[in-house]
Amino acid sequence: MLDKTYDAAAVEPRIANQWEEAGAFRAGAGAKEGAAPFTIVIPPPNVTGSLHMGHALNNTLQDVLVRFERMRGRDVLWQPGTDHAGIATQMVVERQLAERQEPDRRSMGREAFVERVWSWKAESGGTIQNQLFRLGASCDWSRERFTMDDGLSAAVLEVFVKLHADGLIYRDKRLVNWDPRFLTAISDLEVQQVEVKGNLWHFRYPIEGGATYEAPIAWDEETGEPTEYETRDYIVVATTRPETMLGDTAVAVHPDDPRYQGLIGKHVVLPLVGRRIPIVGDDYADPETGSGAVKITPAHDFNDFEVGRRHDLAMINILDEEARLSLDGNEAFLAGVGDDANFADVMALHGIERFKARDAIVALMEARELLAEIEPHVHMVPHGDRSGVVIEPFLTDQWYVDAATLAKPAMEAVRKGDTTFVPGNWERVYFEWMENIQPWCISRQLWWGHQIPAWYGPDGAVFVAKTEDEALAAASERFGRPASVAGKAEAVASWEAGAGDSVALYRDEDVLDTWFSSALWPFSTLGWPEKTPELARYYPTSVLVTGFDIIFFWVARMMMMGLQFTEQAPFHTVYIHALVRDEKGAKMSKSKGNVIDPIELIDQFGADALRFTLAAMAAQGRDIKLSPARVQGYRNFTTKLWNAARFAEMNGCKPVADFDPDGVQETLSKWIVVETARTAAAVTEAIETYRFNDAAGAVYSFTWHSFCDWYLELSKPVLQGDDSPARRELQAVTAWVLDEIVKLLHPFMPFLTEELWARTAEEAGIQRRKLLALTAWPQRAVADNAAAREINWLVDLISQIRSVRAEVNVPAGSPIPIVLVGAGAQERGWIATHKAAIKRLARVEQISEADAPPPQSAQVILGDVAVCLPLAGVVDLDAERARLKKELDRLAGEIKKIDGKLSNPSFVERAPEEVVEEQRERREEAESRRVKVEAALGRL
RNA sequence: GGGCGGUUAGCUCAGCUGGUUAGAGCACCUGGUUUACACCCAGGGGGUCGGGAGUUCGAAUCUCUCACCGCCCACCA
């Protein structure tokens, strides 16, 4: 006997363990002979992570697809795993060291630190898997992978070495986005532009040798033409970053700018520093902006870097890696320094942090009366997405991937339709980015990650190889003597000391961007570069389910790597789901602290309720703002279904072996059988087209409204009556429909349905396999439903009587008689069949017929039949009049509207025949109804 | 500066390829101790579908435009 309410908290862990023990999630488990594979690779969560709403949504949707396909008999693999998440993980462990007041990363050394991260992973890395397990994610946990495990690391090596050999990975010295907090380069994607209120400082740079020019100082209000000039011996430049002026190596003006044309080729003397720097003509300078002259700092600005290249300017780096001024011993900086009586003031700034340096420089300029103006200015400033500090463009050697080359086939695959995005508008986003893709900086100055397989030798020699031995072999061949590996300092020292017996190499200390290994995920997890059976069977994958926030980070890169190394696009479909945002619509993130914990909702309402909520809200192209009330609503739904099963149990509705839904005799049975099939078809189609909300909605409303509210209620008189063939049939039908609902609902609510599936069988004394492991997705042709007319009429009749009763204030508990006027043979038959149900559901005590409506009765018009409630003294006649009047108004309105259409000649001519015909029929119905209602009103 | 998405009931949202009486959940009002379910049942109120223009016989749905809101991308000193 089932309990009165469903206890998710007790059932869910038990069921989860049963699945686990049964090995039901294993790849291919339960697949039909010769079944087509269906593969999803999980977007690997960070090992540091815990389950947030985004994960809950993401994995719910994947699980819906996976369970659905498994039930259809496909050979399903849902590949799970986690990502080593370079910076994030290193941060977490470093923070832990600090909290525990243990030696920091540098003092413990690289090897010990990496060891420490591994042991941290062993202890704490499993959180998210457990949480996914609680959510009911049916991944093949036996195949769980980690981006830094041996197999995946081998794949990384293979890819790096191959891309390097093909010239698609190279080392380059250029400006990178440098994170001065984590002391590493990061990629463009890891930079967030943040709006900052700052200033634009206008500085005067004196022109060398007393040259002058005429600068406009007043303009005509209408024409904008200058009306007044002054003679200047300085150029005004504006900057948001005064501290970088120490590294200025030019001032640029537009070549066509009449104000400055005569100055191009001359020099200014850089204030404070005394350096002579040229005035260059370059299109980059915009005459419309500021003074039209711009200071150029090639080592600290991406634009200036390009200008510097064009004009062969010196690049003076004036910052150290922690973004402090680096002046002492800075040869490039000191090289051009001129005579300046106060130069010591500048040198005193050595070692000062950049923002303090900014204030100091401004003060020095002001003291020298070279500060022309301070203008408040709002602008976008690059920040590290993890560190949150301002990113510094910094000149370093890094490794790059030639992304533009790899992007070409990746775009082509989407263009050809080998891979389809759902919803399709994301393809635009994908193309937009791919078409403008920049070289991908893949080296990181971190310790946790895949160390770059490159070894350096003397004379700029670089050996990229899968193993140290291979690198050494290549080196000794190149240098003609044995090679050995040493530490960096040692190796460099040996090169400076000159040739010895052997040549020393040192290994690149950097590691790869985390996304480099993630990019290989769809095939590295299947064993690549080995030719494993799994790779052959499950690759390319069927669907990737992910959020749009990582299309660039991940999806695009998997496409590139997948095509480059397997010559196939890694997925057929990329389903992009919404982001679950906080109540303000902001992206949830740990750093913002606005994360809602799905585990709390699971504790409160159960995983099934949470899953169903997420699926029901996963309409394409819209973000989800989750409300706990909604989850509660769907928790109620679990109870509703539970109680329907309880009712079935109490009424002897047991599954019947070999039950044939097509063989049923009762109208009610025929109706619900067809409705069930219709629902199954709707759910199937919706899942196939990734309309999760429609799928959830269809099964929800069928279960609650069609099945519980009508079918069960209508069947009660029979089920609770004496034994009869009809009763036995309805018992079997009820059990069958319930089973079908349980199956249809299983992808969304796996725990509840699995429990019901087992309990139903148990009560009936039947042996059954786990629902999860069953190839049993409901699929039936939707037969023509002749029974629908009858049941719809019946539903209509009962609804109308109920409505009238309420509106004319008949006490809810008091049974009333009804009198039918104008009933035909068909209606008589229907009434006879469903008499008991009508009496019960509409609270009717007696049904009779008459030729004319009894006096003082309320009336319901059902087609040709008037259903009269003769209730002299009971009925509130005024209320009935008002009710009828209201109905009359509504009908009149409808008729008027239809007449408007039908009297419009162009409607009749141009609208499709069936639409016109439908309007005519509708008008006729409304009119005949109007006549009857009017008559009823007249009689009162 | 480009691009995308949103604006539908008090709240959170559906409404796919134009024809519905514009729906759901929650909230609200009225009435219910009918032995599956009060995490329930029955009935009900509530929307000029952001504003404007257009296309069409017909627009919440297509086009344009304006207004707000959100997001993504971008090197403007």
Which residues lie closer than 8 Å to A427 by C-beta, 6 or more apart?
A414, A421
pLDDT digits (tens, 9 = 90+) for A10-68: 999 999 999 988 888 988 887 778 899 999 999 999 888 788 888 999 999 999 999 99
Q: Judge whether residue A249 contacts strand B, using its CB and a 7 Å cut-off.
A: no
Residues of chain A where predicted confidence (pLDDT) is lower than 50:
none
Cα distance between residue A742 and residue A771, in whole Å? 9
Query: In whole angstroms, how far apart are CA A354 and each of A213, A318, A323, A335, A342?
Result: 34, 10, 6, 22, 20
Cα distance between residue A11 and residue A34, in whole Å? 35
Cα distance between residue A349 and residue A171, in whole Å? 34
**CA of A621 vs C1' of B56, distance in Å?**
28
Question: Which residues in window 152-211 of A are less than 7 A from strand B by Cβ?
Answer: 188-189, 192-193, 200
Q: Judge whether residue A638 contacts strand B, using its CB and a 7 Å cut-off.
A: yes
Contact A284, A256 (CB under 8 A): no
Question: Which residues in window 393-422 of A are less than 7 A from strand B by Cβ?
Answer: none
Structure tokens at A915: 């639409």
Burial code (b: 16+ CB inside 10 Å, e: under 16) for A523-549 equals bbbbbbbeeeebbeebbbbbbbbbbbe
Residue with tokens 């191009």: A264
**CA of A432 vs C1' of B73, distance in Å?**
9
In this complex, the nucleotide whose C1' atom is nearest to the CA atom of residue A685 is B16
Cα distance between residue A559 and residue A407, in whole Å? 8
**CA of A917 vs C1' of B57, distance in Å?**
14
Cα distance between residue A298 and residue A301, in whole Å? 6
Q: Judge whether residue A622 contacts strand B, using its CB and a 7 Å cut-off.
A: yes
Which residues lie closer than 8 Å to A844 by C-beta, 6 or more apart?
A801, A815, A816, A817, A818, A838
Cα distance between residue A363 and residue A740, in whole Å? 79
In this complex, the nucleotide whose C1' atom is nearest to the CA atom of residue A707 is B36
Residue with tokens 């992007």: A407
Cα distance between residue A378 and residue A190, in whole Å? 22
Q: Judge whether residue A792 contacts strand B, using its CB and a 7 Å cut-off.
A: no
In chain A, % helix, strand, coil (3-state, to 5) comes to 50, 20, 30
Name the residue closest to B34, CA to C1'.
Answer: A840
**What is the structure's pLDDT at A442?**
95
Q: Judge whether residue A712 contacts strand B, using its CB and a 7 Å cut-off.
A: yes
Structure tokens at A207: 């022109």
Q: Judge whether residue A288 contacts strand B, using its CB and a 7 Å cut-off.
A: yes
Q: Judge whether residue A807 contacts strand B, using its CB and a 7 Å cut-off.
A: yes
3-state secondary structure A541-600: EEEEEEEHHHHHHHHHHHHHHHHHHHCCCCEEEEEEECCEECCCCCECCCCCCCCCCHHH
Q: Judge whether residue A379 contacts strand B, using its CB and a 7 Å cut-off.
A: yes
Cα distance between residue A122 and residue A764, in whole Å? 46
Task: Give first-to-last CA distance, chain A, whole Å.
Answer: 53
Closest CA to A758 of A744, A778, A777, A772: A772
Q: Judge whether residue A800 contacts strand B, using its CB and a 7 Å cut-off.
A: no
Q: Judge whether residue A74 contacts strand B, using its CB and a 7 Å cut-off.
A: no
Structure tokens at A359: 């204030």
Q: Judge whether residue A328 contacts strand B, using its CB and a 7 Å cut-off.
A: no
Closest CA to A188 of A30, A10, A384, A345: A384
Cα distance between residue A404 and residue A433, in whole Å? 10
Query: Which nucleotides of strand B are protein-proximal, with an atom < 7 A from a CB?
Result: 3-6, 11-15, 19, 21, 24-27, 30-34, 36-44, 56-58, 69-77
State ipTM. Answer: 0.94
pTM more than 0.95:
no
- Helix (H/G/I), strand (E/B), else coil: A855: coil
Q: Judge whether residue A906 contacts strand B, using its CB and a 7 Å cut-off.
A: yes
A267-269 vs A276-281, strand pairing mode: antiparallel
Verify cis geometry, omega within 30 degrees of 0, for the bond prior to A598: no
Contact A479, A460 (CB under 8 A): no
In this complex, the nucleotide whose C1' atom is nearest to the CA atom of residue A809 is B31
Cα distance between residue A45 and residue A49, in whole Å? 7
**What is the structure's pLDDT at A593?**
63
> For chain A, give me the number of helices (H) and strands (E)?
32, 32
Cα distance between residue A677 and residue A684, in whole Å? 10
Cα distance between residue A345 and residue A330, in whole Å? 16
In this complex, the nucleotide whose C1' atom is nearest to the CA atom of residue A645 is B36
**What is the structure's pLDDT at A886?**
80
Structure tokens at A876: 């509130």
**CA of A236 vs C1' of B77, distance in Å?**
11
Any idea what DSSP says for residue A702?
I
Amino acid making up residue A766: I
Rg (CA), chain A: 38
**CA of A593 vs C1' of B24, distance in Å?**
32
Query: In whole angstroms, how far apart are CA A842 and each of A523, A672, A715, A821?
Result: 62, 21, 14, 18
**CA of A430 vs C1' of B3, distance in Å?**
12
Structure tokens at A106: 């540098």
In this complex, the nucleotide whose C1' atom is nearest to the CA atom of residue A629 is B26
A392-401 vs A169-179, strand pairing mode: antiparallel
In this complex, the nucleotide whose C1' atom is nearest to the CA atom of residue A922 is B21
Name the residue closest to B33, CA to C1'.
Answer: A813
In this complex, the nucleotide whose C1' atom is nearest to the CA atom of residue A284 is B76
